[in-house]
Structure 1
Amino acid sequence: MDVLSSNSAVVGNASAAVLGTVQGSASLSILRKSMDLQESTAAQLLQALPQPALATSGTLGTRLNTYA
C-alpha cells in the first residue's frame, strides 16, 4: 500500500465532507487516526536509526559536537 496516496485520499475525503454531518465527523475521525498512525510510524523509524559514534581522538570533532 502506498502511504502517500492513501494519506492523500484520506485528506481529500475529509476536506470534501461537510463538517456538520455524520459523514464529516467520521471523515475527520479517520483523518486523525491516520495522522496518529503516521506519527507513531515516523517516531519508530527515527528511534531505529543508529546513533553516530563521537570522535574521541584527534582535532576533528573532539572539541565541538556538531551533530547536536
Structure 2
Amino acid sequence: MDISGVSANGAVSAALAQQQVYSQGQASVSMFKKALDTQSQNAMALIESLPQLPSTQGLPANLGNNINTTA
C-alpha cells in the first residue's frame, strides 16, 4: 500500500471521522438496547396485570377434552 500521497492532516482527519462514526454507532446500539429493555419491562407488567384464570379443580375430568368443530 502506497501512502506517500497522503498528508498527515488527511490521515488524522480520516481517523477522527472513523472514530466519530464508531462512537455514533455505539450510541445507537446503546439506545436500542435501552428501548428493548423498556419494552420488555412494559410487556412483563402487562402480562403480570392479567387476572388469574379460575381454578378447574372442581370440574369433571371429561370437561374440555373435545372441541366441536362442526357446529
TM-score of the superposed pair, with normalisation by structure 1: 0.55
Q: Deviations over 1:12-59 (max 9, x none)?
A: xxxxxxxx7110000000000000000000000000000101124231
**Percentage of pairs with the same residue:** 30
Structure 1 runs, 4 residues or longer, greater than 6 Å off: none
In structure 2, give the amino acid aligned to 1:21. Answer: Y
- 2:56 is the alignment partner of 1:36: no
Structure 1 residues not aligned, in runs of 5+: 1-19, 63-68
In structure 2, give the amino acid aligned to 1:36. Answer: D
Q: Number of residues paired by the alignment? A: 43
RMSD: 2.2
Q: State the alpha-carbon separation in 1 of the partners of residues 39 and 23 from structure 2.
A: 24
Q: State the alpha-carbon separation in 2 of the partners of residues 28 and 21 from structure 1.
A: 11
